[in-house]
Amino acid sequence: MPYDKNNIFAKILRGEIPCKKIFENDYVLSFHDINPQKKIHALVIPKGEYVDLDDFNKKASDKEITEFHKAVSHVANLLGVLDKGYRVLSNIGSDGGQEVPHLHFHIFAGEKIGKMVV
């Protein structure tokens, strides 16, 4: 699937719509999910144009991949959830339930997250 420059996260990255920012550097942006499914529900996205994890792993530089993964732990630290734990999840494609076609990792925390898959 080609990257859709009009997806909602692309608009957030361009500053066209606001977000509740948690962290930003040259490679990633993290913000709170607009419709939280748990007490803490954050998103981490790369700044590059990647549809999903497969697209990212195929096309991104080693630096982008490293920075993206490091950012997940950094955001969890900023959220204060390292001790109690959290869940990271990425939906890919239609069977995976992906709604926004820009790679994102969800971070769920702040309470027991429950069953791995419902």
Beta strands in 8-96 (DSSP E): 21-24, 28-32, 40-46, 87-89
CB 78 → ligand AMP: shortest distance, Å? Answer: 17
Q: How many residues bind ligand AMP (CB under 6 A)?
A: 13
Select the span of 44-52, 55-63, 72-80, 98-106 touching ligand AMP (CB under 6 A). Answer: 98-106
User: Taking phi first (over 0 means left), then psi (-120 to 50 degrees means alpha), and beta for anything else, what does residue 23 get?
Assistant: beta
Could you tell me the two tokens for 13?
């990255």
Interacting residue with ligand AMP among 1, 6, 15, 97 (CB under 6 A): 97
With respect to ligand AMP, which residue has the nearer C-beta, 73 or 98?
98
Active site residue 104: yes
Looking at the DSSP bridge assignments, the partners of residue 28 are 46
